[in-house]
Amino acid sequence: MTTTTNTMPHTMSHTRSHTRTDAFIAQEEAFGAHNYRPLDLVVAEAQGVWVTDVEGKRYLDCLSAYSAVNQGHAHPRLVAALTAQAQRVTLTSRAFRNDQLGPFSEALARFCGMEAVLPMNTGAEAVETAIKLARRWAYRVKGVADGEAEIIAFTNNFHGRTTTLVGFSSEPSYRAHFGPFAPGFRLVPFGDIAAVRAAMTSRTAAVLIEPVQCEAGVLFPPDGFLRELAALCAREAVLLIADEIQTGLGRTGAKFACDHEGVTPDVYVLGKALSGGMYPVSAVVSSRALLDLFEPGSHGSTYGGNPLGCAVAREALAVLEDEQLVERSRAQGAELLRALQALRHPAIKAVRGRGLLCAIELHEPARPWCEALMARGVLCKETHGTVIRLAPPLVIGDAELAVCVEALEAVFGGA
Ligand SMILES: *Cc1c(COP(=O)(O)O)cnc(C)c1O
C-alpha cells in the first residue's frame, strides 16, 4: 500500500496478505467475541516504546495500552519484580495478610500525598469502590437519607464497563440494551460549573470527574474549571472524586492531571499505569476517615491487594520516580505538541495536548489515518470517531519521538 501526502489514505484491510497475521486474526474472529475492532496487526513482542508483530515488523506504540504502559513495555525492573514475586507468593486472598500489601499501600499513599489506599484490580472496580465510598459517606456523615444519595458525573464520561458505570454514560454504544440501570446519577455538561452548581442538592454525595476526558476525544475542561469545581464541592460538602485512571501517574506531565490547577480531590481513582502494563492493579486513594467507612466485610475482592500485584505496582511507582517520568512526559509532550501544531492539512480541525497526552481532531473519521500511520510504523487508535490520541510510553526518547513526528509529517504533510 502507498500513502501520498494530502490525500485520504486507503485502508489496509483489503490489501494485506501476510499469512501468519491472517491466521491469527481468523482464529480470533472464529473463537473470540467481537466486542472490539482492533487494528489488524498481531503483536508478538514489545519492549520499551516498540512493539513487534508476528511478521517481524516493528512499530512505535503511541497508545501505550490506554496509558497502562507509561513505564514502557516489559520494563526490566517490572519484569524482575513480577518474576521474583511470582516465585515467592502470588495470592493469599485478604483472609490472610501478606508482606507486600503494607509496603505497596505506604508507597502509593505517599506518592499521592494521601493517607490510605484500598486496592482493587481493574479500573472499573476501583470506580465502583469510589461510588460505594461516596454513598456511605453521604449516609453516615453528611446525613442523606438511606438510598437517596446522588452522584454528579459529566456527559461524555468514561469510567468503565460495569452495568452501573455504563448506566450513567451518555454514549449510546456503551449502554444500548444493557439496562435496567442503577439510579442515583446526574449528568451535567463537562466543564460547565454553573450546571454542576445547579445539579447539586442536599442529597449530592460526590462529583465524579475525569480531569481530562480521554475516551471522549482527549477533551480538556476550560482553564480554572477544576479549581472552581473543587471550591464548589468543598463549600457544598460534596466529595470530589477524580478518576485519574488514565490521566494520572505522569501522563499529562504532572503526577495527576488535577495538579495542573493545584487541586487535591477527596478521592483518587487509579489503575492502568499503576502496574506498568504487567498485571491489573487499581486503587482508591483517600483519607483515613473516608476509607474507614468500609468496615470489615463491607467490601472486598479476591485478588485485590494480592502480593504479586502489590510487588509490581510498588516497583512501577518507583520507576516513575527514579526515571523522572513525570518530568519527561512534560518535556517530550511539549515537543510533540509543537510538532502537531506545525502540521498543516485540511483534514485537521484542531490539535491539543498536555504532557504526553496529545490529540489530533479531524473533520472526518480518524480510522483510515490511524491505518496510514500504522503503515508508517506508528500505532495509535482513533477515539470518539474523529480523534487520534497520541500517548506514547513516557520513557520515549528524542530519537523515538522523532520517528513519531516523521510519520505524522509524512501522513499529514507539513514542515
Ligand atoms: C480505562 C479507564 C477506566 C476503566 O478501567 P478498566 O481497567 O478498563 O476497567 C475507567 N476510567 C478511565 C478514565 C479509564 O481511562
**CATH number, residue 216:** 3.40.640.10
In this prediction, residues 48-68 reach a mean pLDDT of: 97
Q: What is the pLDDT of residues 297-313, one digit of tens each?
A: 999 999 999 999 999 99
What pLDDT was estimated at residue 174?
Answer: 96
Give the residue from 307, 322, 337 where a domain finishes: 322
Gap from CA of 261 to ligand 1 centroid (Å)? 22
In this prediction, residues 129-134 reach a mean pLDDT of: 99
The verdict on 314 and 348 lying in the same domain is no
Residues in contact with ligand 1 (CB, 6 Å cut-off):
66, 122-124, 127, 158-160, 210, 214, 243, 245-246, 271-272
The model's confidence at residue 28, banded by pLDDT at 50, 70 and 90, is: very high
The verdict on 253 and 153 lying in the same domain is yes
The verdict on 171 and 298 lying in the same domain is yes
The verdict on 346 and 231 lying in the same domain is no
Lowest pLDDT segment from 11-15, 118-122, 226-230, 250-254: 11-15
The verdict on 60 and 87 lying in the same domain is no
Average pLDDT of the residues of the chain: 95
Higher pLDDT, 16 or 123: 123
Higher pLDDT, 209 or 6: 209
In this prediction, residues 93-121 reach a mean pLDDT of: 98
Choose the catalytic residue: 104, 111, 154, 158: 158
Task: Examine the pLDDT at 12 and tell me if it is beyond 80.
Answer: no
Task: Examine the pLDDT at 17 and tell me if it is beyond 60.
Answer: no
The verdict on 83 and 226 lying in the same domain is yes
Choose the catalytic residue: 185, 266, 272, 381: 272
The verdict on 238 and 170 lying in the same domain is yes
Assess whether 225 carries a catalytic annotation. Answer: no
The model's confidence at residue 6, banded by pLDDT at 50, 70 and 90, is: very low
Q: Print the domain residue range for 353.
A: 5-71+329-411
**CA atoms of 9 and 221, how far apart (whole Å):** 32
The verdict on 139 and 269 lying in the same domain is yes
Q: Assess contact for 230 and 263: CB atoms under 8 A.
A: yes
Q: What is the pLDDT of residues 313-352, one digit of tens each?
A: 999 999 999 999 999 999 999 999 999 999 999 999 999 9
**CA atoms of 207 and 104, how far apart (whole Å):** 28
**CA atoms of 207 and 119, how far apart (whole Å):** 21
The verdict on 142 and 226 lying in the same domain is yes
Q: Ligand 1 pocket test: which of 69, 128, 131, 158 has the largest number of ligand atoms within 8 Å of its C-beta?
A: 158
Lowest pLDDT segment from 64-68, 150-154, 298-302, 411-415: 411-415
Gap from CA of 277 to ligand 1 centroid (Å)? 13
Q: Measured from the CA of 272, which atom of ligand 1 is nearest?
A: 7
**CA atoms of 240 and 232, how far apart (whole Å):** 10
Q: What is the pLDDT of residues 161-186, one digit of tens each?
A: 999 999 999 999 999 999 999 999 99
The verdict on 143 and 285 lying in the same domain is yes
Lowest pLDDT segment from 4-18, 78-92, 377-391: 4-18
**CA atoms of 402 and 376, how far apart (whole Å):** 13
The verdict on 161 and 108 lying in the same domain is yes
Q: What is the pLDDT of residues 219-268, one digit of tens each?
A: 999 999 999 999 999 999 999 999 999 999 999 999 999 999 999 999 99
**CA atoms of 234 and 240, how far apart (whole Å):** 8
Assess whether 381 carries a catalytic annotation. Answer: no
Measuring CA to CA, how many Å separate 383 from each of 62, 179, 389, 391? 13, 24, 7, 12
**CA atoms of 345 and 5, how far apart (whole Å):** 9
Q: What is the pLDDT of residues 202-216, one digit of tens each?
A: 999 999 999 999 999
Count other Cβ atoms within 10 Å, centred on residue 65: 16
Assess whether 61 carries a catalytic annotation. Answer: no
Q: 3-state class of 358 per DSSP?
A: strand
The verdict on 132 and 244 lying in the same domain is yes
Give the residue from 322, 337, 354 where a domain finishes: 322
Q: What is the pLDDT of residues 381-395, one digit of tens each?
A: 999 999 999 999 999
* DSSP per-residue string spanning 197-239: HHH--TTEEEEEE-SSBTTTTSBPPPTTHHHHHHHHHHHHT-E
What pLDDT was estimated at residue 369?
Answer: 97
Give the residue from 303, 322, 341 where a domain finishes: 322
Q: Ligand 1 pocket test: which of 258, 272, 381 has the largest number of ligand atoms within 8 Å of its C-beta?
A: 272
Half-sphere exposure of 49 (CA within 13 A, CB side): 22
Measuring CA to CA, how many Å separate 264 from each of 16, 76, 88, 317, 411? 49, 32, 37, 19, 40
**CATH number, residue 405:** 3.90.1150.10
- Number of domains making up the chain: 2
